[in-house]
Structure 1
C-alpha cells in the first residue's frame, strides 16, 4: 500500500490517509479481506504519530470500509458491492461537479462539455 503524505497540503495528515485508502478500496485495488499495515507499522513508514494513524483507521472503520480485530489487525471490510458502487458514484458526482464548475468558468457550453466527455470516453475504450 503506497500512501503519500504532503506536508504542504492544507488537508490534515489523517484525512490524507483516509482519502487515499478509501480510494484504493473503492477502486478495487484493495479487496475484501486484504490486511492493512498495523497502526504502528504505517506510522513508522510514514514517519508520523501513531495517534494520527489510529484516527485515520477509526474514520475508515466508521465509514464501514475496514474492520479492526483486536490482536489481529485491520482488514478491508467485505462491504457489499452495492455499497461500494454507491460510494464510487458519490465520488464521481463530486468530480463531475468540479468539472462542471470549471467548464462554466471557461465559458464552455453544455454541448461543448458533452462533446469533450464523449471524445475522452471513446478514446479510453480504444
Structure 2
C-alpha cells in the first residue's frame, strides 16, 4: 500500500517525527482505515528514502500509542481507534492551526474584526459540502 507521506529533508523537524506526525494524522482522520495493512518496514523505508531504523521507530511509537498493531509474520495494521479520540484529534488540529493564524494576524496588527472578516471570507471561498458542509 502506498501511504501519502511527504518528507522535507530541509526541515528542522527530524525525519522520524515528520513521518510519525503525518501517519498519525492519516490514521486519526480516517484517511487510513482500521485494519489497513501498512507497508513492511523495509518497503516503507524504501518508499520514503530513509533508513529502516527510522520507520521501525515510527511503527513502534505509534504501536505504543495504540494506533498500530503488529502481528508476527503477518505485518503491521492500523488499530481500531475510538471515534471520540478521532474527533478530539480533529478539533485539536484545527484549533492549533487557528492559533497560528491568530498569531499571524496579531503580528500583522490586524484588528479582531478584520481577522473575523478574513476568516469568514476564506470559509466562503473554500468551504464545500464535500469538505464538511454546514453544521
Same fold (TM over 0.5): yes
Q: C-alpha displacement at 1:93, in angstroms?
A: 1.6
Q: Report the Cα distance in structure 2 between the residues aligned to 1:11 and 1:70, rounded to whole angstroms.
A: 31
Q: C-alpha displacement at 1:52, in angstroms?
A: 0.8
Match for 1:115 among 117, 122, 134? 117
Q: How many residues align?
A: 126
Q: C-alpha displacement at 1:47, in angstroms?
A: 2.4
- Are positions 1:55 and 2:73 aligned together? no
Does the aligned pair in 1 maintain the 2:29–2:86 contact within 8 Å? no
- Are positions 1:98 and 2:106 aligned together? no
Q: Which runs of 5+ in 1 are unaligned?
A: none
Q: C-alpha displacement at 1:36, in angstroms?
A: 0.8
Moved over 6 A (4+): none
TM-score by length of 1: 0.90
Q: Report the Cα distance in structure 2 between the residues aligned to 1:105 and 1:3, rounded to whole angstroms.
A: 31
| CA RMSD after TM alignment | 1.5
Q: Report the Cα distance in structure 2 between the residues aligned to 1:73 and 1:84, rounded to whole angstroms.
A: 24
